[in-house]
Structure 1
Amino acid sequence: MRDRARYLFIGDSITEWGRFEDSEGIGENYVRMIRDDLAIHLPHPFPEFINRGIGGNRITDLVERWHTDVIANQPDLVSISIGINDVWRQLDNQDMEHVYPNDYAKLYRELIEQTRAQKIVLMEPTIIDEDPQSKGNQLLKPYVEIVNQLAEEYQLTVVPTHQAFLKYLNRPGPLPLTIDGVHMSSTGNRLMALTWLQALTK
């Protein structure tokens, strides 16, 4: 029996960001910011953090590595952030095997049902372009809705990151949330971390 909880974060490059260059395997991202905040506010018992983000991943990639990267690690909490690449690749036609909403929902449900963690956290996909009316953000809407529907169906915690980003952009905020429309600036990572922490403490 472990002496502390294990928190595992899985997703695409937004989650990965810098973890392969980091001796701690965390990276410079929202995962680190969540960890650091909990170190200050919840030092005992402090959970173990594992980052399993991989750049370019879609829901299909998570399915392929779920047993190795999630189930085998026996996490107490799993936080899932996926969906941006499922939409982004529809925009630039990188491949013909797009993951449309129905398939996204089916595969996401399979992941949830395989997982035996005490707590499963579903993060809404963030944004594609810092224009709320961009084509990417319009295409994201059904994926965001699916995340919320699954959270309600399985009574899981949902992190409203997409909604938090749109709220910031509609002000508009003084600093950019991304460096390229998708990957986070420090401000974007901070907003993700704050939204996650707020959702978990409700």
Structure 2
Amino acid sequence: MKQQKILFIGDSITASGKREDPEKIGVSYVRIIHDYLLTTYPEKVYNIVNKGISGNRITDLAARWQKDVIEHNPDYLSISIGINDVWRQLDRPEIEQITVEKFEQVYKELLTKVKEHTNAHIIIMEPTVIEEKLQAPGNQLLKEYVKVVNDMSKQFEATLVPTHQAFVKYLEGNKGYNLTTDGVHMNSAGNMLMATTWLKAVEEQLK
């Protein structure tokens, strides 16, 4: 039976708990997707690979793209990046920053390499939120990066996972129940929202 390799790459939101997990999948939205696919489609074989690394920005992905993506030659590649590219502008303004123009340029280069060297179907996740207040400076800065992600999905005929939109919709409902532990890193509810949004966008293609 042919297995389908689904590779997830990103930052700590993707990596969450991966190091401590014997399966190296972790406890993020990736774990929920893994467990859902495993139990919903027992006749299929999904090989879930988690290549999230804490603190990564788009340039960090670029530095390890060959080894962690191209050489793995996945059937599906799911990318979640952009939060640190914005957050570093707020918490570490003294370091070299990833402007929205740089973000777009590097993202385009990475997706071009995927198209040239693999047959992977690309899945692009919108960056989620920075603070659970829609008017927070981080969320205002994030808007342009979310737009880049949307543009990239169209340009490269990728599946878009509207994770930012899902979080905005939740926050607009003002339920008073947080989805993150610190405004960025997900609790179990935040991971569930990411996973269900991903599955809604992607599941049909995996059947």
8 Å contact kept, 1:175–1:187: no
Which residue is equivalent to 1:44?
A: 43
Is 1:155 equivalent to 2:154 in the alignment? no
In the alignment, structure 1 segments of 5+ residues that lack a partner are none
From 158, 170, 173, the counterpart of 1:171: 173
Which amino acid in the other structure matches residue 128 of structure 1?
I
Percent pairwise identity = 51
Q: Which moved more, 1:179-188 or 1:35-44?
A: 35-44
8 Å contact kept, 1:177–1:185: yes
Which residue is equivalent to 1:30?
A: 29
Which residue is equivalent to 2:10?
A: 11
Distance 1:39 1:65 in 2: 28
Measure how far apart 1:3 and its partner are.
Answer: 2.7
Which residue is equivalent to 2:138?
A: 136
TM-score scaled by structure 2?
0.94
Measure how far apart 1:117 and its partner are.
Answer: 3.5
Structure 1 residues 157 and 141, CA gap change in structure 2 (3 angstroms)? same
TM-score scaled by structure 1?
0.96
SS at match of 2:149: helix
Which amino acid in the other structure matches residue 188 of structure 2?
S
Please report the RMSD computed on the Cα atoms of aligned residues, expressed in angstroms: 1.2
Equivalent pairs counted in the alignment come to 201
8 Å contact kept, 1:78–1:117: no
Q: Which moved more, 1:44-53 or 1:167-176?
A: 167-176
Measure how far apart 1:166 and its partner are.
Answer: 0.6
8 Å contact kept, 2:73–2:120: no
SS at match of 1:19: coil
Which amino acid in the other structure matches residue 136 of structure 2?
S
Is 1:145 equivalent to 2:144 in the alignment? no
Which amino acid in the other structure matches residue 181 of structure 1?
G
8 Å contact kept, 1:34–1:197: yes
